[in-house]
Chains A and B, each alone.
Chain A
Amino acid sequence: MVPGSTVGIVANPMSGRDIRRLVAQASVFPNAEKTNMVVRLLAAAGAAGVERALVSTDGMGVAGGVVRALAKRRASAGRLPHLEFVELDALTGTADDTRALVVAMRARGAGVIVTLGGDGTVRAAAATCGDVALLPLSTGTNNAFPEMWEATVAGTAAGLLATDRVAADAVTHRSKVLHVVCGPTREVALVDVCVSTVTHVGSKALWQPATLRELYCAFAEPHAIGLSSIAGLLHPAARTDPHGVVVTLADPATADRTVFAPIAPGVVAPIGIRDARDLPAGVPRRAAVERGTVAVDGERELEFGPGTPVTVTLARAGPRVLDVRATLAAAAARRLLVHQRVPTLQSAP
C-alpha cells in the first residue's frame, strides 16, 4: 500500500434513455452495472496498492449498491482501498453534481479521477478537474471521448498512476477542446460540434443526415461511433494531433461525395460531404448557417437565429487524460507488476 495514494470515482447515475433508443438501436446501461464497475475498479485499485478511494454518492442507487456489494464481499477477496463516500450538500440531478463531486475529490487529494458516464459526464468533469488526470469509462449512448475498458484493467491503470509508479507526463495527454460562442452563451465540446438546421433542441439527439451542415471535431478516429466518425473516415485526426477537423456537410441526395458513417448505434448512413480539412487551434470559425441548433458532443444544446452568430474555436486546453494502454505498456516494460521470487538458501542448488 502506498501512503497518500488516492483514486476518485464519479459514477453518473443518469442513464442514457434518449430518443436514439427509438430511432436507432442504442443500448440500455443499467445502474446496477455501474455499481459492478465501481466494485471492480475498487478491487483493482486495492490490488495496485492505492490507500484511499473516494466514491461519488447519488440518489439513484449506484453508491447504495456499492455499499451492499461490499457488505457481501468475502474476506478472501483481496484488499480494498480505504473507502470514503463523497457527499454533496444537495443533489441537483444535473451535470452540476459531477462538477461539484470532482471539486470535492480534488480537495481531498485524488491523484486521478475515473468517470463512469458518457461524453456529457466527461465534459462536466473537465470543467473542474484542473490538472488532475481523468480516466473516462464509457457507460453512455454513443461515446466518442470515453473509451470502453474493462473496469478491472482501468482500475489497475488508475492505481499505477495514483501510486506514482508511472510518470504522469508519460501516460497522460492534454486533450483538446472546442469552444462555442453563441450570442451570450458559451459551451464546450470535447469531441465534436455540429451545426444543424433543426430549429429546436427538442429531444437533443441528432440522427437526420439531411439536417447536418457543419461539423467541427477536436479529434476524429476512423473507429469512432457518432458524428465524429464522419470526419474520422474521411480526414482523421488523432487525439494528440495539434489540430482538429472541420467538415462542411451537404444533403446526401445531391452531394458529389458521400461517406458511410456510423452516426448512431445501429445506424450507418450516407452523409453528404462538401469539404473536409484541418481545423487549426486558436482560429475562430464562424458558422455559415443562419438559423438552427448547435449540438455539442452529439446533443443539441443551443438554438440560434439570424441575429446570433455562432463561432467555434479549437483550443489545446482540455482535461488531462490517462491513457490506459500506455500505462499498462509502461508497467509491462518496467515489469512493475511482475514479482520474481528470490531463491532461498534451502531451495538453491
Chain B
Amino acid sequence: MTGTLTQAPAAELTPDALLDAYRTMRTIRDFEERVHEEFATGDIPGFVHLYAGEEASATGVCSHLDLRDAIASTHRGHGHCIAKGVDVMGMMAEIFGKLTGSCRGKGGSMHIADLSKGMLGANGIVGGGPPLICGRALASKLKGDGGVAVAFFGDGASNQGTTLESLNLASIWNLPAIFVAENNGYAEATSSTWSVATDDIADRAAAFGMPGVIVDGFDFFAVHEAAGEAVARAREGGGPTLIEVKFTRYFGHFEGDQQLYRADEVRNARENLDCLKVFRARVTGSGQLTDDQLDQVDQEVATAIAASVVAAKAAPKPGADDLLTDVYVSYQ
C-alpha cells in the first residue's frame, strides 16, 4: 500500500469527550461575553481582544493535546488558554490586573501564560508564536518525549516574516510542529482577501514542503478530525502541518473597535453557523448527548464564570513591592 492513509478509523468521540469539548467551548464563550461586559464598565485595564465565535478551533486542536505538548498563542489568546487547561479563576484575575492572576496581575489579557499547562503565552507580537513553538518542538524532538507544539496565529501573522521563517525551519528540521492559521477575515481592519497574496493561507504550505488543509472553523468535528491527523502525524515523526481554520470573530478586533470595515456578517454567523449551536444539533441529533446534559453544562459554566469575576474584583492589586519581583534581574 502507498500513501499515508490512516488504516484504523479515527476513534469515535465518547459521550464524556463530547461533553468535555462542549464545556470548553461554552466556557470560552461565556468568559468572553462576560469580559465584553466588564470591559465596558472601565474596570479592566489595558486592551482585550475577544475570541468569541472561534471556540471550535482552540477546542478542536487542544482536545488532542496533553501535558507533553505546548501551544503558543496570539493577542486573542483567552480561548487558547482555556482550551489548554489554564485556570479560569486565574485568567479572570489576570485580566483585571490582580495579584491572584495567572501572572500575578502583571501581564493582563495579552500575556496570560501558564508553563505548567504547556501554555507558552498569549503574545502581543503579531507572528511571535511560530518561532517559539519551533524551539519547543525541537526540544521535544531532541528529548524524544513525544511532545507536539502548536502555534495559533491569524491571517495578519500569516504575512509576517517570523511565521514564514518558522514554517521553513519546521520543515527542514522535520519538527513535530503544527501551525494553525486562524483566518477570521481581518487583520485588525484589513481584509485577508486583500492582504494575503495567495487564494488561501493553506496554499503556502506547499512552498514549505508540508501538507496544508482548510477546515470549517465553526465545525468542531471538522477541526477535531484534521487536528487529530496532524497531531498523530507529528508524534509519529511525520513533521509539520499547516491547518487553515476559517471563521468569523463575533466582536471587533479589540473592545471598542467600531467595525466600520465590515458588513453585518456576524449576525448570520451567530444565527446559522455558531459552533455551539451546530455542536448541540449534531450530538443531540445523533443521540450521543441530550439537551438536558448540555443545559446542565451551561448552568455550571455560568456559575463558574460569575464566581471568577466576583473573586477577581475582590482580589488585591499588585503593590509597589511587586514591581521588582518576577523579573530577570535580582534587585534584592
Known contacts A24-B4, A210-B8, A211-B9; is A17 also within 8 Å of B212 by CB? yes
Q: Does A266 contact B (CB under 8 A)?
A: yes
Q: Given that A17-B214, A203-B222, A203-B225 are contacting pairs, would A31 and B6 also be in contact in the complex, using a CB cutoff of 8 Å?
A: no
B213 with A18: CB separation less than 8 A? yes
Partner of A19 from the list B3, B200, B229 (CB cut-off 8 Å) is B229
The reply on B320 being an interface residue by CB < 8 A is no
B282 touching A303, Cβ below 8 Å: yes
- Once A60-B199, A200-B282, A202-B224 are accepted as A-B contacts, the answer to whether A22 and B2 lie under 8 Å apart by CB is no
Per the bound structure, the CA–CA distance linking A260 and B5 in Å amounts to 13
- Which of chain A's residues has its CB closest to B279's CB? A200
Task: Give which listed residue, A30, A204, A211, A267, contacts B199 with CB less than 8 A.
Answer: A30
Contact B288 A15 (CB under 8 A): no
Decide yes or no whether A233 CB sits under 8 A from chain B: no
Within 8 A of A (CB), among B50-94: none
Q: How far is the CA of A268 from the CA of B3 in the complex (A)?
A: 7
CB pair B5 A22 closer than 8 Å: no
Measured between C-beta atoms, what is the minimum distance from A184 to chain B in Å? 12
Q: Report the interface size class on chain A.
A: 35 or more
Which B residues are CB-close (under 8 A) to A24? 3-5
Question: Which of A13, A31, A59, A199 sits near B286, CB closer than 8 Å?
Answer: A199
The answer to the question of A222 belonging to the interface, with a C-beta cut-off of 8 Å to chain B, is no
Complex alpha-carbon distance, A24 and B238, angstroms: 13
> Within 8 Å CB of A264, what residues of B?
3, 5
By beta carbon, the residue of chain B nearest A31 is B199
Contacting A303 at CB < 8 Å: which of B7, B205, B285? B285
CA distance A267 to B1 in the complex (A): 7
Would B199 and A23 count as touching, CB distance under 8 A?
no
Q: Which of A41-79 contact B (CB under 8 A)?
A: 59-61
Known contacts A200-B221, A269-B5; A19 and B213 CB within 8 A of each other: yes
CA of A270 to CA of B1 in the docked complex: distance in angstroms? 8
Q: Tell whether, in the assembled complex, residue B226 and residue A19 are in contact, meaning their CB atoms are under 8 Å apart.
A: yes
Measured CA separation A81–B8 after assembly (Å): 53
B182 located at the interface, meaning its Cβ lies under 8 Å from any Cβ of chain A in the complex = no
Task: Give the contacting residue for A208; candidates B9, B213, B215, B243; CB below 8 A.
Answer: B9
Decide if B211 touches A30 in the complex (CB within 8 Å): no
**A30 contact set on B, CB distance < 8 A:** 198-199, 203
Chain B: minimal CB distance from A33 (Å): 11
**Contact, CB under 8 Å: A61 / B215:** no
Is A25's CB within 8 Å of the partner chain B? yes
Contact with B along A297-337 (1 / 0, CB 8 A): 00000010110000000000000000000000000000000
Q: How long is the Cα–Cα vector from A198 to B9 in the complex, in angstroms?
A: 8
Q: Which A residues are CB-close (under 8 A) to B260? A: none
| Chain A hits for B236, CB < 8 A | none
Give every chain B residue within 8 A of A211 (Cβ-Cβ): 9
Q: A31-B199, A210-B9, A264-B3 are in contact. Are A19 and B286 (CB under 8 A)?
A: no
Alpha-carbon separation in the docked complex, A13 to B199 (Å): 9
Interface contact A267-B225, CB-CB below 8 Å: no
Query: Is the beta-carbon distance between B3 and A267 smaller than 8 angstroms?
Result: yes
Q: Interface 1/0s, chain A 237-259, versus B by CB < 8 A?
A: 00000000000000000000000
B1-52 CB contacts (< 8 Å) to partner A: 1-10, 12-13
Within 8 Å of chain B (Cβ to Cβ): is A201?
A: yes
Contact in complex: B3, A203 (CB < 8 Å): no
| Contact among A28, A267, A303 for B203, CB-based, below 8 A | A28
Q: State which of B1, B203, B211, B222 has its C-beta within 8 Å of the C-beta of A22.
A: B211
Which residues on the B side are within 8 Å of A268 (C-beta)? 1-3
Interface set, chain A 148-194, CB cutoff 8 A to B: none
Pairwise interchain contact A23-B244, C-beta atoms closer than 8 A: no
Residues of B within 8 A of A (CB): 1-10, 12-13, 193, 198-200, 202-203, 205-206, 211-215, 219, 221-222, 224-226, 229-230, 233, 241, 243-244, 282, 285-288
Given contacts A24-B3, A199-B13, A266-B3, 4 further A-B contacts (CB under 8 A): A19-B226, A208-B7, A210-B9, A305-B285
9 contacts between A and B (CB under 8 A): A22-B229, A22-B241, A25-B3, A30-B203, A199-B286, A199-B288, A200-B286, A207-B5, A208-B10
